[in-house]
Structure formats: structure tokens, C-alpha cells
């Protein structure tokens, strides 16, 4: 068997051999063992969010993380042609905030957008000023870790204030949940969205939403989609524990169950956050020694993925990428509009030894290109 690639990306990412092996079992979606596994996963997710099952629930949804985001917007927000009232504020500083705005447009949801430069964090001051300009706001959404650049937005200061305004809160924690501690009830988060193939280190196949039960139960008959009706999916799980409405990704669920075991064995989210942070700090220090400059200052750089500026006009990113891939390292092209760049992720089944090997490999490639 060929050597596996090390995926230094924001997800899908490198998984353990045990996570991959867990998928070698075929289960029926009606099987009681499978239903029990699904229900256990839902309960574990609520616990990881520091929440209680009496007030929060986890709803799993087939598809990628973007399916989860669109399901939340579609289910939680009234549409402009419906009689009920609602206005969504989206705080945007990258491509994934912009994607939320595109979804809102397609769904005919009234929204107002606070747009911040991609290399700057969203701040509480900016949010408060925007609220003063838009008293019609009833719902608020933003990205926690915006992987366009790798920036980490300060939800710990923003969300408690927003929730105090009697506003429904939504956070896309796709690339942070499981890798950065988030106390969902303490922050006043009503809906947190993430995905199986991110920091919990599973494989692609489903998104999940950790939702305030009271907020979700107000959303009956609001969805205009059959498959992206988060409320209907919640009712299925509530009334028939472990039962998805439509065919579920059984093998992905088994992989996720194993990934949750490995998260617990590592010491939980705090320990995983420490590993990711060590990876990222080592990466930046090593890359700087090799002549690369990080786009963001350390103050708001996440431990998830780091953007590096292209060092010179003569630097050939494709040749650099291909040379790394031949050596089984896979990185990401740049996404920011701030200038030519590339990105390197530090999450997944990756440790500081992998980062050290990567840096040594980059030094060798520099000498050859």
C-alpha cells in the first residue's frame, strides 16, 4: 500500500487508522445497534458543548457542513414572503460569511451584513454600532474560525452581548468545534453548526447542529425544504431516538463514534486544542525561519489553519505544492483577496513531529526549486 498523504487542510483531514477501520462494518439504518450509536453520538455532542440535554439537543443532518448552515437558516428564519417577521444580521470577514449571505438571498431571508476586511477580526464594538443602525435585527450569525485566512473571531465577547439583546444567535463553528473549547450555554448560542470531518477528526458525511431546544421548537413549518428541515429532523430524533428521516451515512457514523473515543482518550477538547496550538506555533516559527511571513498577527490567528504570503513574484506555488505532494504532504492554495498566498492546516491526526518533518521537507524543496 502506498504511503498515505498527510492532509494539512481545514478538512477533510488526516484521520487515524482506527477511524478508517471503523467503517469496515455494514449496518442497517433500522438496526437497534445503529440507532443506539446515533443516539449516543447526539448525547456526547451536547456534552462537548458544555450543555445539558434538558435544554439543548444535537441534530445530525446528511451532507457537508454547508448543508447544516443552510438547514439552520432555512428552518430558523422566516422568509420575506411569509407573514412572520425576522431580520438576520450576518457579520462577515471571509468567504464563509459571504456564503451565508448568498444562502440568505436564495432563501429569500431579509438580512443586513456587517462586512469587515478579511484580515481583521469582527469586534464587539463593530457589532454594537451595527445594531444601533439596524433596530430591525432579530437574528445574528457569524463564523467562529474563518478559514479564508485562519482568523479566529472573538465569539466569547460578542455572543453574550448579542444574546442579551433578545436576539436568536447562530454560529458557524465548522472548523473550531472539537478543537477549541466553546461553552455554548454560557455564550448564549442558540444554534452551533459543525461537521463530522473537522476537529473531531471523523470523515465527511454529515453535519450537526447543537441547538437550544426552546429556540428550535419555535420553528415548526418554517422550512421551505423537505430535506433541509432541521425541525423535522429534530422531531424524528426526539420521537424515535437514533432514527434519521432519510438514509443516513452509516459508515461515517461508525467512524465518528471512533473519533469521539479518540477525542476522549486524548483528554477532551482542551487537550486537543493544546496539540493544535503547539502544531501551529511550531509551524509559524519554522516557516518564518525559512523566509515565509504569516498573513495574520498572532493576536487573532487560530490554531486551525495559517495563511502565508507568497514570498516573491518568482515563487511558483503549483511547483511548490506538487513537490510537497510527491513527498506526501498536501496543503491548500490561498483563498484571501488580500494578496497571493497559500494555507497550511494544523488539525487532524497531526502532531509536532509531523510539523517538524514538513518544515525539513520545505527546506529541502526550497533548495531544489
**Is 218 a domain residue?**
yes
**Same domain as 240, residue 148:** yes
**Same domain as 97, residue 23:** yes
**Is 294 a domain residue?**
yes
Question: For 296-343, what is each residue's pLDDT tens digit?
Answer: 999 999 999 999 999 999 999 999 999 999 999 999 988 888 789 999
pLDDT of residue 83: 66
Number of domains in the chain: 2
pLDDT of residue 1: 46
**Same domain as 246, residue 300:** no
Question: 158 near 122, Cβ under 8 Å?
Answer: yes
**Is 92 a domain residue?**
yes
**Same domain as 252, residue 151:** yes
pLDDT of residue 44: 98
> The CATH number of the domain where 36 resides is what?
3.40.640.10
**Same domain as 156, residue 295:** no
Question: For 247-275, what is each residue's pLDDT tens digit?
Answer: 999 999 999 999 999 999 999 999 999 99
**Same domain as 185, residue 112:** yes
**Same domain as 99, residue 79:** yes
Picking from 243, 264, 285, the residue at the C-terminal end of a domain is 264
**Is 351 a domain residue?**
yes
**Same domain as 277, residue 242:** no
**Same domain as 363, residue 308:** yes
**Same domain as 280, residue 250:** no
- pLDDT, averaged in runs of 10, over the chain (369 residues): 85 95 94 96 98 98 96 93 84 97 96 97 98 97 96 98 98 98 98 98 98 97 95 97 96 98 98 98 98 96 96 93 96 86 97 97 91
**Is 44 a domain residue?**
yes
**Same domain as 248, residue 119:** yes
pLDDT of residue 82: 72
**Is 97 a domain residue?**
yes
**Is 93 a domain residue?**
yes
Question: 104 near 139, Cβ under 8 Å?
Answer: no
**Is 1 a domain residue?**
no
Picking from 207, 234, 264, the residue at the C-terminal end of a domain is 264
> The CATH number of the domain where 295 resides is what?
3.90.1150.10
Range(s) of the domain holding residue 196: 19-264
State pTM to two decimals: 0.96
Picking from 220, 243, 264, the residue at the C-terminal end of a domain is 264
**Same domain as 228, residue 339:** no
Amino acid at each position: 500500500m502506498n504511503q498515505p498523504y498527510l492532509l494539512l487542510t481545514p478538512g477533510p483531514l488526516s484521520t487515524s487508522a482506527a477511524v478508517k477501520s471503523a467503517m469496515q462494518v455494514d449496518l442497517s439504518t433500522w438496526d437497534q445497534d445503529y440507532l443506539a450509536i446515533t443516539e449516543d453520538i447526539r448525547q456526547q455532542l451536547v456534552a462537548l458543548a458544555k450543555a445539558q440535554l434538558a435544554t439543548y439537543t444535537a441534530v445530525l443532518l446528511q451532507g457537508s457542513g454547508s448543508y447544516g448552515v443552510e438547514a439552520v437558516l432555512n428552518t430558523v428564519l422566516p422568509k420575506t414572503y411569509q407573514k412572520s417577521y425576522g431580520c438576520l444580521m450576518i457579520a462577515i470577514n471571509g468567504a464563509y460569511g459571504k456564503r451565508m449571505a448568498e444562502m440568505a438571498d436564495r432563501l429569500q431571508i431579509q438580512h443586513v451584513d456587517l462586512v469587515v476586511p478579511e484580515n481583521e477580526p469582527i469586534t464587539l464594538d463593530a457589532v454594537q454600532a451595527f445594531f444601533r443602525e439596524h433596530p430591525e435585527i432579530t437574528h445574528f450569525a457569524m463564523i467562529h474560525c474563518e478559514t479564508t485566512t485562519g482568523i479566529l473571531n472573538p465569539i466569547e465577547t460578542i455572543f453574550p452581548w448579542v444574546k442579551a439583546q433578545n436576539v436568536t444567535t447562530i454560529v458557524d463553528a465548522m472548523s473550531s468545534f472539537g478543537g477549541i473549547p466553546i461553552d455554548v450555554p454560557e455564550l448564549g448560542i442558540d444554534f452551533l453548526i459543525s461537521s463530522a470531518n473537522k476537529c473531531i477528526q471523523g470523515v465527511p458525511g454529515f453535519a450537526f447542529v447543537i441547538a437550544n431546544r426552546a429556540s428550535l421548537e419555535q420553528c415548526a413549518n418554517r422550512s421551505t425544504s423537505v430535506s433541509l428541515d432541521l425541525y423535522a429532523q429534530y422531531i424524528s430524533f426526539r420521537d424515535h431516538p437514533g432514527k434519521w428521516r432519510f438514509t443516513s451515512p452509516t459508515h461515517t457514523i461508525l467512524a465518528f463514534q471512533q473519533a469521539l473515543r479518540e477525542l476522549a482518550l486524548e483528554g477532551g477538547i482542551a487537550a486537543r486544542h493544546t496539540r493544535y496550538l503547539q502544531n501551529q506555533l511550531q509551524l509559524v516559527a519554522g516557516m518564518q525561519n525559512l523566509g515565509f511571513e504569516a498573513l495574520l498577527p498572532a493576536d487573532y490567528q487560530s490554531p486551525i489553519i495559517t495563511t502565508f504570503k507568497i514570498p516573491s513574484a518568482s515563487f511558483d506555488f503549483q511547483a511548490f505544492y506538487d513537490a510537497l505532494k510527491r513527498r506526501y504532504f498536501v496543503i491548500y492554495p490561498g483563498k484571501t483577496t488580500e494578496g497571493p498566498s497559500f494555507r497550511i492546516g494544523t488539525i487532524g491526526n497531526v502532531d509536532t513531529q509531523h510539523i517538524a518533518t514538513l518544515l525539513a521537507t520545505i527546506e529541502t524543496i526550497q533548495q531544489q526549486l
